[in-house]
Amino acid sequence: MKKLTLLLCGALLSTLHFQALAGNYVVGVEALKYYPLYEGKGNSYKGYARELLDEFAKAKGHKLTYKAVPVKRLFGEFLAGNMDFKYPDNAKWASHMKQGHKVVYSDSTVEYIDGIMAPPANKTLNVDTFKTIGTLRGFTPWVYMDDISKGTMKLSESDNMKSLISMAESGRIQGAYFNVVVAQYFMKNTLKNAKALVFKEDLPHSRDNFSLSTVKHPKVIEEFNAFLKENESLVEKLKDKYQVKLP
């Protein structure tokens, strides 16, 4: 009887702990078509990130609301406390804006490569001849910022991927800098031309990870990290489903 009582008490404490952590949270996401990784518009959000975060919320009893904000505004709103979490995030991004804020990051949700996509016919493009680069508005091509700051490389911005690819195909820029998985998916499924541009892996590029971040709820980040570890097979299945796994 005593053993049963202890077991019941333990179960009750576990339930109370679960309920204490469960909550309604707003996740700030990028108002951007970045599929299959994610796509945000208003309160609509879909893609790999959405399904992963929803699975976490379902497992832990949370309710997540997604708020899509233009990339340039998102950091400001997040740091001002207008949302509970930000996705995606990385400790290297906008470090000057984060000074004075204790931002907590989750473990990696997915690995990514940001690099130069260029017309396959341009076989002479190398670190010496590469002088004009394009990117989506609000994104920063970190690995080229020294050259851009010095004025030895010219940066052009575009509002969407289709026009950015068009700029590279027409020669207005020599290469477009963006996420390789997203670019390849877009060319294959939207443009129906999988080889419009190819990844120039011999040029400088960034290979890093996306994380979920917060200022307000570090305990939930701990919970999310535990979920990622305990559900590795689920995470891998989602990566396969959305074709976001890197070689």
DSSP codes joined into one string, 220-244: HHHHHHHHHHHTHHHHHHHHHHHT-
Specify whether 135 is located in the same domain as 183.
Answer: yes
Which residues form the domain of 196?
112-207
CATH code of the domain in which 84 resides: 3.40.190.10
Are residues 89 and 157 both part of a single domain? no
| Same domain flag for 220 and 103 | yes
Closest CA to 86 of 244, 238, 215: 215
Looking at the domain assignment, is residue 16 inside a domain? Answer: no
Residue 151 lies in a domain: yes
Residue 60 is assigned to a structural domain of this protein: yes
Residue type, 36: P
- Quick check: is 1 in a domain? no
Give the count of beta carbons closer than 10 Å to the beta carbon of residue 130: 21
In the numeric block, the tokens 């906008």 are attached to 94
Residues 60 and 89 in one domain: yes
Q: What is the largest CA-CA distance in the chain?
A: 80
Residue 21 confidence (pLDDT):
62
The answer as to whether 10 is a domain residue is: no
Q: What count of other Cβ atoms lies within 10 Å of the Cβ of residue 64?
A: 19
The verdict on 100 and 137 lying in the same domain is no
- Domain match, 201 and 230 both: no
DSSP state letters, 121-154: T-TT--TTT--EEEEETT---GGGHHHHHHTSSE
Are 70 and 33 in contact by the 8 Å Cβ rule? The answer is no
Query: Is 94 contained in some domain?
Result: yes
- For the chain, the domain total comes to 2
Q: Tell me, what's the pLDDT at 239?
A: 98
Residues 160 and 233 placed together within one structural domain of the fold? no
- Predicted local confidence at residue 14, as pLDDT: 45
Identify whether 51 is part of a domain. Answer: yes
- Tens digit of pLDDT at every position of the chain (247 positions): 444 444 444 444 444 444 446 899 999 999 999 999 999 998 899 999 999 999 999 999 999 999 999 988 999 999 999 999 999 999 999 888 999 999 999 999 999 999 999 999 988 899 999 999 999 988 889 999 999 999 999 999 998 899 999 999 999 999 999 999 999 999 999 999 999 999 999 999 999 999 999 999 999 999 999 999 999 999 999 999 999 999 7
> In a 10 Å sphere around its CB, with 0-12 CB exposed, 13-18 middle and 19+ buried, how is residue 77 labelled?
middle
Task: Tell me: do 35 and 97 sit in the same domain.
Answer: yes
Query: Smallest Cα–Cα separation from 26: which of 5, 13, 40, 12?
Result: 40
Q: Are residues 128 and 200 in the same domain?
A: yes
On whether both 201 and 119 belong to a single domain, the answer is yes
> Could you tell me if 146 and 117 lie in one domain?
yes
Examine the domain organization and report whether 80 and 123 are in the same domain.
Answer: no
What pLDDT shows up at residue 43?
81
The answer to whether residue 3 is domain-embedded is: no
